[in-house]
Chain A
Amino acid sequence: MAKNNTADKITSDLLRSIRLNWSFKIWFAFLGAALLVCLGAYGLQLKNGMVVTGLGDYVSWGMYISNFVFFVATSLIGMLISAVLGLSGQKWAAPLTRIAEIIALAFAAVAGLVIVMDMGRPERLLNVFIHGRIQSPILWDVTVITIYMVISALFLYIPLIPDLKICSEKLDVPPFVKNIYKILSLNWAGTSEQKKLIEQSTRVIAIFIIPVALAIHTVTSWLFANTSRVGWDSTIFGPYFVTGAFVSGTAAVIIAMYFFRKNYKLEDYITEKHFDMIGKLLVLVSLVYLYFNLNEYMVAGYKMKEFEAILIRDLFSGNHAVLFWSVQLFGLVLPIILLLFKKMRKPLPMLVIGIMVLIGAWFKRFIIVVPTMEHPYLPIQNVPMNWKIYTPTLIETLVTIAPMIMVLLIITVLAKLVPIVPISETLEQLETTEENKK
């Protein structure tokens, strides 16, 4: 009897968030309005050409490409939390899997749009499929990101099926919405056969998503590493990008955890222990990333080869020094030190640290893309001054913000449609703990 009460409480607790309240409507309207402003800026870019950006013939990749790398990077978190931790038997991460998968799906889906926003001729996008050349890393990127998106969607959907059934039964919503939930739950009846099927397919996807996720960010790193440019011409770019991706993705999950926990009153399900554990995870991935950073800059900085020296001086003590050191310090070193203390692995300090790391992660991509473009092998001469040092414009900034708003919108909407903490898995865990007590 007591057990049933607890189960009912869990179900109602976790379903509580699925309703339209005022705070949701205001937040949604705010995001929608902001998105319209940003899309207006993109309209100006379509009309007048990319001259509205701060880009030029030398720095021809800037904020948009940095943004693209950031988006692909953050989307990798789905693979780390749901697949790697799941397969290695880290049970504590189970309530976080859905958050991680929603973040992964949202960032991966929008990453494709980010790259279209960087195109001079977006209306010719289909040329990539009509005249596509397999030699070009862009083709590889398009292929693997599409695959990753599909797998991520499945990875979100399949474990969701039992919860969709619960939604159709327990939610206080109009009948047609109930029907949609019911149809989506694919006749789930909770038989042991069905349970086994879901368990197996989730496992297969979890295994399959690991190489695909590694591929999307490795290929993204090859967009840079496959050129002869100083600062990009590096053999460690693949793992360097992948480990960096885990840092920004973990930070994104921490921020999302904080807000979902607070707004949906999920303190019993996303507990301080979860923050403690994911704080330790952030320390681990940040340490690995710091190690790759050390390799990347130390080796070049020790040799100071002719053209690399120009770039290294620019980063260490030149135009980009403030940004470079801030990113390393506030985005990496300081969070590692702070998170070593248990007191700092509480929800609120973690939120602050998560935001610091995420902002740092965005500017880190900027530091990888822009300074290299500012220092080609041959000197930049006989061109306007603003082509030598890249300064993003307001329109460009708005167009960069647009995809971020889209991601927030997707996460907001998905979190309103499905329980953000898996109900059936939580119930199962409850059962196993009860059995263990006996």
Chain B
Amino acid sequence: MSEKNEKPKKRTRREFLQDIGLVGVGTLIGGSAIFAGINYDKKKNAAERVRVLTAENELLEIDKSEASKVVKPNLENLTYLQKQGREGLPGKRFVMVIDLSKCRNARKCMAACNEAHHLRPEQHHINVLKMQDSKNTPAYYMPKPCQHCDNPPCTAVCPVDATFKRADGIVLIDNERCIGCRFCIAACPYSARVFNWAEPIHSLEDEGKTYNVELNVPQKKGTISKCLFSADRVREGKLPYCVSACPNGVYYFGDENEDAVTNGTTKETVRFRKLLEDNGGYTLMPELGTHPRVYYLPPKGKEYPFQDKDKEEAGERLES
């Protein structure tokens, strides 16, 4: 019994030692396995590649570790909007065609523009002028937005690059940078620019809004404002505010590269160059070499009479 009793004791000790040995070896093997596994995982992750689609529609492969999530424009909104506003829309060359034979001075364009850009009633990004070129020629109404010249005198003289020309043809103003010297007003032969002489009328409601350089809202006291070809709407693929608001089919807007312009009233899309060719399109004061992107169709075959009350103002500058 005693032997019996001793036996299990002995075995227990041997087994105990064996067990320790097993556990020890097991731990070593397991440990190195885990270690190796972790190392393997690390290496595997590093080698992993991901495919990304760039804004230029190019499929690229990069290391996953180098990929990071796009920072959504929230706090950094300001720089984002300003940067985006400076870049413009790739591949586009925006143009506007204004058909003077259709304009009856409804001024819906002016109202829509003033509302969108938070302007005072006496400030005009687009101004419908009563024109008469000489004594015997007919008077006509002429909407005049910024001409978005390809050789813009205004951007050349700006000392701080606050006003600039984008690759898509649009001339914008960054009122976060503008110093208010008004050299651009002096340089613009089309009188297209306005200045915030006083606190803008919407300044209370606009307070805290992120500045959008493509809308130029909020307007700021002591800085320039101008027609932007509604760059914010154009980015969304829509027509400019004035173009959509016109009830008389005066405006066409579109892309010179596509050779297509769309009428804001009828929504009809026509060939840009054919429209100019068929109707004798021209630009304002081509002799100044500014190369405007706004084209006019002459007031031929007007469908309305020029109002008598406007005749005096139209002929004001003619030599009597």
A residues touching B (Cβ–Cβ < 8 Å)? 48-51, 53, 55-58, 60-61, 115, 118-122, 124-125, 127-128, 130-133, 135-139, 142, 223-224, 226-229, 309-310, 373, 376-384, 387
Contact with B222, one of A60, A115, A120, A373 (Cβ below 8 angstroms): A120
* A interface footprint on B242-275 (CB within 8 Å = 1, 0 otherwise): 0000000000000000000000000000000000
* B28 lies within 8 A of chain A by Cβ: no
Contacts of A122 in B (CB 8 A): 179-180
Q: Does B157 lie within 8 Å of A226, measured CB to CB?
A: yes
What is the distance, in angstroms, from B104's C-beta to the closest C-beta of chain A?
16
Contacts of B238 in A (CB 8 A): none
- Residues from 134 to 192 in B contacting A, C-beta threshold 8 Å: 144, 153, 156-162, 177-183, 185-187, 189-191
Q: Does B187 lie within 8 Å of A227, measured CB to CB?
A: yes
Q: How far is the CA of A377 from the CA of B192 in the complex (A)?
A: 11
Q: Does B223 lie within 8 Å of A381, measured CB to CB?
A: no
Known: A119-B181, A379-B130, A379-B317. A56 touches B197 (CB 8 A): yes
Main secondary structure of the interface of B (DSSP, over half): loop
Contacts of B186 in A (CB 8 A): 60-61, 223-224, 227, 229, 373
Q: Does B183 lie within 8 Å of A378, measured CB to CB?
A: no
Q: How far is the CA of A58 from the CA of B178 in the complex (A)?
A: 18
Among listed B45-53, B61-69, B120-128, B293-301, interface-contacting one: B120-128
* B116 lies within 8 A of chain A by Cβ: no
* B285 lies within 8 A of chain A by Cβ: yes
What is the distance, in angstroms, from A334's C-beta to the closest C-beta of chain B?
32
Q: How far is the CA of A381 from the CA of B143 in the complex (A)?
A: 12
B residues touching A (Cβ–Cβ < 8 Å)? 110, 122-124, 127-131, 144, 153, 156-162, 177-183, 185-187, 189-191, 193-199, 221-223, 285, 288, 290, 313, 316-317, 319
Q: Does A382 lie within 8 Å of B124, measured CB to CB?
A: yes
Q: Does B177 lie within 8 Å of A124, measured CB to CB?
A: yes
21 A-B residue contacts at CB 8 Å? A49-B196, A51-B198, A57-B191, A57-B195, A60-B186, A61-B182, A119-B181, A120-B223, A122-B179, A124-B179, A124-B180, A127-B179, A128-B160, A131-B162, A138-B181, A139-B159, A142-B159, A228-B153, A228-B187, A381-B127, A382-B110
Q: A120-B196, A381-B313 are in contact. List 18 more A-B contacts (CB 8 A).
A: A49-B221, A50-B195, A57-B122, A57-B194, A57-B195, A61-B185, A119-B179, A131-B161, A132-B160, A136-B158, A136-B183, A226-B157, A227-B189, A373-B186, A376-B189, A376-B191, A378-B190, A382-B127
Which residue of the partner chain B has the closest CB to A135? Answer: B156
Contacts of B178 in A (CB 8 A): 120-121, 124
Contacts of A127 in B (CB 8 A): 160, 162, 177, 179
Contact with A48, one of B162, B182, B198, B316 (Cβ below 8 angstroms): B198
Contacts of B161 in A (CB 8 A): 131, 133
Which residue of the partner chain B has the closest CB to A232? Answer: B186
Q: How far is the CA of A49 from the CA of B124 in the complex (A)?
A: 19
Q: How far is the CA of A382 from the CA of B160 in the complex (A)?
A: 31
Q: Does B222 lie within 8 Å of A49, measured CB to CB?
A: yes
Q: How far is the CA of A60 from the CA of B313 in the complex (A)?
A: 23
Please list the 4 inter-chain residue pairs (A to B) with the smallest Cβ-Cβ separation, ordered nearest first: A120-B180, A120-B222, A51-B198, A138-B159
Q: How far is the CA of A139 from the CA of B161 in the complex (A)?
A: 12
Contact with B183, one of A57, A138, A228, A381 (Cβ below 8 angstroms): A138
Q: Does A49 lie within 8 Å of B199, measured CB to CB?
A: yes
Which residue of the partner chain B has the closest CB to A45? Answer: B222
Contacts of A48 in B (CB 8 A): 198-199
What is the distance, in angstroms, from B149's C-beta to the closest C-beta of chain A?
11
What is the distance, in angstroms, from B253's C-beta to the closest C-beta of chain A?
21
Which residue of the partner chain A has the closest CB to B192? Answer: A378
What is the distance, in angstroms, from B313's C-beta to the closest C-beta of chain A?
6
What is the distance, in angstroms, from B167's C-beta to the closest C-beta of chain A?
18
Contact with B144, one of A49, A56, A310, A378 (Cβ below 8 angstroms): A378
Which residue of the partner chain A has the closest CB to B174? Answer: A131
Contacts of B159 in A (CB 8 A): 128, 132-133, 136, 138-139, 142
Which residue of the partner chain B has the closest CB to A376? Answer: B191
What is the distance, in angstroms, from B16's C-beta to the closest C-beta of chain A?
80
Contact with A60, one of B124, B153, B185, B198 (Cβ below 8 angstroms): B185
